Amino acid sequence: EVQLVESGGGLIQPRGSLRLSCAASGFTVSSNYMSWVRQAPGKGLEWVSVIYSGGRTYYADSVKGRFTISRDNSKNTLSLQMNSLRAEDTAVYYCARAPDWDLNAFDIWGQGTMVTVSS
Amino acid sequence: QSALTQPASVSGSPGQSITISCTGTSSDLGGYNYVSWYQQHPGKAPKLMIYDVSHRPSGVSYRFSGSKSGNTASLTISGLQAEDEADYYCSSYTSSSTVIFGGGTKVTVL
């Protein structure tokens, strides 16, 4: 079965760090565009970051310099290292796959993991 | 970069057709045919409904169609059904090699 399963969310204090993971099954992470998309409570979707099949990475301005996307090809997983967390980073974080011909067509989504930044 | 502009809400009666607009700029939506639409029910992950402006993934109802003119894309839902009540988001590739979403539109079936 083709699926994504996120983990690693939780309650973290401002300025803290957290690492999210996303385990893929049924397809190869390194052969696709893989993104993180977040959704603050009651708000819309916000794209966070992408890693290309070739390894290039891009970030939304709101997280640039604080978040790092990466993947482990041997484990077929995607990760998001989040540092210097702020209250406005509170959201459900989804990992999403886009096929290698369209990085904007997120055809597989995980169930999401909640990150709450609060003291 | 600001989000793509969508109406906050659209409503229609069962069987009717509704259209949701999504407006961007020449640096994103207007400059590329990489426009997607997503449906999201409460508490659920988004679902891809349209990609590359007008293509439907396998399994998505023919009642959903997409188009684009200039800097504005549109999603039309024909033969509106109760199950179509959800939030809808557009997204586009940008000239910065990133992705931008619209603010979302709540569709209500009257």
Residue-level pLDDT at A31: 95
Residue-level pLDDT at A101: 85
Q: Which among B65, B40, B61, B70 has a CA at the least distance from the CA of B52?
A: B65
Determine whether the interchain pair A50/B98 forms a contact, defined as Cβ–Cβ distance below 8 Å: yes
Instruction: Give contacts of A 8-27 with B, CB under 8 A.
Output: none
Please say whether the beta carbons of A67 and A85 come within 8 A.
no
Q: Which among A103, A41, A39 has a CA at the least distance from the CA of B93?
A: A103
Task: State pLDDT tens for residues A51-86.
Answer: 999 999 999 999 999 999 999 999 999 999 999 999
Beta partners for residue A80, in sequence order? A20, A69
Q: Which among A71, A46, A73, A72 has a CA at the least distance from the CA of A59?
A: A46
Determine whether the interchain pair B45/A109 forms a contact, defined as Cβ–Cβ distance below 8 Å: yes
Q: Which amino acid is at A103?
A: L
Residue-level pLDDT at B108: 98
Q: How many interface pairs between A and B have CB atoms less than 8 angstroms apart?
A: 67
Q: How far is CA A80 from CA A34, A70, B30, B99, B104, in A?
A: 11, 6, 30, 17, 25
Band (A95; pLDDT cuts 50, 70, 90): very high
Determine whether the interchain pair B57/A59 forms a contact, defined as Cβ–Cβ distance below 8 Å: no
Please say whether the beta carbons of A77 and A44 come within 8 A.
no
Residue-level pLDDT at B2: 83
Band (A98; pLDDT cuts 50, 70, 90): very high
Beta partners for residue A45, in sequence order? A39
Beta partners for residue A70, in sequence order? A79
Please say whether the beta carbons of B73 and B53 come within 8 A.
yes
Residues of A in Cβ contact (< 8 Å) with B99:
35, 47, 50, 103-104
Q: Which among A36, A66, A88 has a CA at the least distance from the CA of B45?
A: A36
Residues of A in Cβ contact (< 8 Å) with B40:
45
Radius of gyration of chain B (CA): 13
Residue-level pLDDT at B29: 95
Determine whether the interchain pair B46/A46 forms a contact, defined as Cβ–Cβ distance below 8 Å: no
Tally of helices (H runs) and strands (E runs) in chain B:
0, 9
The secondary structure of chain B in percent helix, strand, coil, rounded to multiples of 5, reads: 5, 50, 45
Averaged over A37-43, what is the pLDDT?
97
Separation CA A55–CA A93 (nearest Å): 21
Determine whether the interchain pair A103/B46 forms a contact, defined as Cβ–Cβ distance below 8 Å: no
pLDDT at B1 over 80: no
Residues of B in Cβ contact (< 8 Å) with A59:
98
Residue-level pLDDT at A56: 96
Number of Cβ atoms within 10 Å of the Cβ of B94 = 22
Residue-level pLDDT at B74: 98
Residue-level pLDDT at A100: 86
Residues of A in Cβ contact (< 8 Å) with B51:
102, 104-105, 107
Instruction: For A1-112, list the strands marked E by DSSP.
Output: 3-7, 10-12, 18-25, 33-39, 45-51, 57-59, 67-72, 77-82, 91-98, 108-109
